[in-house]
Structure 1
Amino acid sequence: MNSAAGGACLQRAAALFLLAGCLALSGCGEPKEPELWIYTSIYREVLDKLAPQAQAAMAGVKLRWYKAGSEEVAARITAELASGQTPADILMTADPFWYQALKEEGLLRPYRPPEASRVPPALTDPEGAYLTSRAAVMVIGYNAQIFSADQAPETFAELTQPRWQGKVVIGDPLKSGTALATVAMLSNKLGWDYFKALRASDVVVEGGNSAVLRRIETGDRPVGVLLLENLLKARENRSPVEIVYPRDGAVVIPSPIAIVAGTDQPVAAERFVRFVMSPEGQRAMVEGYMYPADPGIAGPKGSAPFTSLLAMGRCLDTKFVREMTAERETLKETFGQIMFE
């Protein structure tokens, strides 16, 4: 081989080496689409409607979802942070106390989109660390094949009366964020003696709201405390259940959305929050039988006006949440001692 030919071969080899290196660095193809992880407690059937709409609004970003109960999400985040980092970028669950605790630990990234201006101030963190994306409402449900409307209980307080002995089921605040919020409100208004009386009346504590609904539907426990959204959906599916808005106040539970402070996708995270708070995102909440945070958008079909529920005075507003956050674990412990020991 002459020197000219040898030089040409070396140049070609060098070019091929550089090309291979470039392909290796670029992943041998198109740049990988960034991912946004959303940890949520929204029901699967609601998520099945929300996720495609959100993905369509988030072109260029791949949405990933982790779905579990509010308390399970909190436990997972705690474990991940203890190990060094969480992949979560967005949190959407139903335990407002947890968000306040995360805020106080500096684990949330404040963001207040223009769309949040329509949310009542009492339902939004003043520093923008988290804001209400939807509202859950805790009511009383009953099996209409067993009780007529005039036989049904009218208040939370009367569920301790002898005639409801062995007939009532409630959610477990150790597993459900909305059950925890309800225990916080009712223990504040009615005292822990209320729960002691429920225990004496042979109340059943049964997981989350779906589990409570199943007990009511089977007639095993024909009266229960659960979310309005579960009852609205069940009624639409011809389940024999009816709704009571307690005269002593349905419990209104703001369900927050927040950005995790350590996210490596802050721009995409803000885009997602704006989608959720947009009219399209808020209407998706209504399709899931939940109240939107935006009072300008009508609530779910067959529900009472949201303003009338707020007027009952049993809303977990930001003031109540701030005051009760430090008591979150104590609430669980006290409830557990009363009901399970």
Structure 2
Amino acid sequence: MKRRTFLLTTAAMTALMPLGVQAESHMSEAIAALYETAKPEGEVTWYVVPMDSETAERVGQKFTELYPGIKVNVVRSTATVAFQRLNQDIDTGVANCDVFTTSSLAHAEDLKGRDLLAAYTPIRKEEVLPAFQGADPEDTYHITTAGPMGIVYNTNDVSAEDAPKNWPDLLDPKWKGKLAIGHPGFSGYVGIWAVKMRELYGWEFFEKLAELEPYVGRSSIDVVTTTAAGETIVGAGPTTSALISAEKGNPVAMLAPTDGLVVISSPSMILKDAPHPEAAKLFMEFLLGTEIAEMTAEQFSTPIRGDVAVREGVIPLGEVTVLSASKEQIIDEVSETAEMFRDTFGI
């Protein structure tokens, strides 16, 4: 009887505690207050590009686990498809998307230029590594993920000794018909990778690549899929997806090219007409927080926070050459490069 009375008393006391005390495990008082404001909205819709569907769904489930009562509607697609869908929403006057996470800063700048983004200064803004802070001085978008592109290969068909060691090694004639790449006209990751290859090696790199008759998928993730299946045996793909595939027992390995991993910083933003604006703010905090960084690091991602360690197998960016595109390159050169790619490859 006394035990029952104690439990009831404890529950009653908990209900009377300040928000910050109740949520001390993963919420500061400010985050807890935001959660209370967001909870009545009940859901948030997330258009997401820079992760596979399985990981995106897990992220959504983690958010609901941490913030009960708020469901995440995950809409995952490639960068171009996601941006087209968002623009169709805008053109028809239908507000579906709350938070948009893309792999292209050009998308963020385009939406900002049309005054379609809500300015929001996250509570956790300065908790991420300095390299990922201050992408937009007006706080209409924030870097929430970073993903490297490296060389992937099928370990059943290619030994570590024979695997390409740098990007030009992909042009070896022995890879003809066995090589996979993504399409810069659809994938933000591939668009930035293509811009950096063009900068380093000129368009001749792609002309030689076309002669090898590569498999061209829409997404960079398609490269990992075909390589794991043995349909192709080498390619340029996302290191995170390659490591996830390898953990599942697929014959896939990845390496950092000696001339540099191409690292893509992906921004997230809240739409000005977001149907669930308070839940969108809370979701932005979540994207910048420790919990998602730990969860995605477990999935071999590269954390943007310094307090989260990389998983074994992930190459720390401080130990390799890193290639990153400037904001100007992303805005001015990705579309042009995609058109040149279509001309060269005929697709």
Segments of structure 2 that go 5 or more residues without pairing to the other structure are: 1-38
1:302 aligns with 313
Distance 1:61 1:214, change over 3 A: closer
Secondary structure, in 3 states, of the residue corresponding to 1:77? helix
What are structure 1's unaligned runs of at least 5 residues? 1-30
Pairwise mapping of residues 50-129 of structure 1 onto structure 2 (< 5 A)? 50-124=59-133, 125-127=135-137, 128-129=139-140
Aligned counterpart, 2:261: 250
- Give the Cα separation in 1 of the matches to 2:312 and 2:279: 32
Deviations 1:237-294 (A, max 9, x none): 1111211210010100112211112224332211111112111121122133211211
1:179 pairs with 2:179:
no
Aligned ranges 1:104-253 → 2 under 5 Å:
104-124=113-133, 125-127=135-137, 128-253=139-264
The answer to whether the 8 A contact 2:120-2:140 is kept is yes
Alignment identity in percent? 25
Could you tell me the TM-score, scaled by structure 1's length?
0.83
Summarize deviations over 1:176-225 as a string: whole Å, max 9, x none. Answer: 22112211222222222111110022222122234222322333321111
Q: Secondary structure at the match of 1:327?
A: helix
Pairwise CA distance, 1:60:
4.5
Tell me if structure 1 keeps the 8 A contact 2:170–2:235. no
**What is the distance in 1 between the residues matched to 2:205 and 2:119?**
38
Matched, 1:332 2:338: yes
The 1-side partners of 2:52 and 2:229 are apart by 21
After superposition, give the CA deviation of every residue in 1:277-324 in whole Å (9 maximum; x if it has no partner): 111121122133211211321123311113234xx24023xxx12343
Deviation, structure 1 residue 118? 3.0
Structure 1 stretch displaced more, 32-41 or 234-243: 32-41
Considering only CA atoms, is the larger Rg found in Structure 1 or Structure 2?
Answer: 1
Alignment-derived partner of residue 291 in structure 1: 302
Q: Which residue of 2 aligns with 1:268?
A: 279
1:169/1:284 Cα in 2 relative to 1: closer, same or farther (>3 Å)? same
From the superposition, tell whether residues 299 and 101 of structure 1 become closer, same or farther in structure 2 (CA, over 3 Å).
farther
- Partner of 1:39, secondary structure, is strand
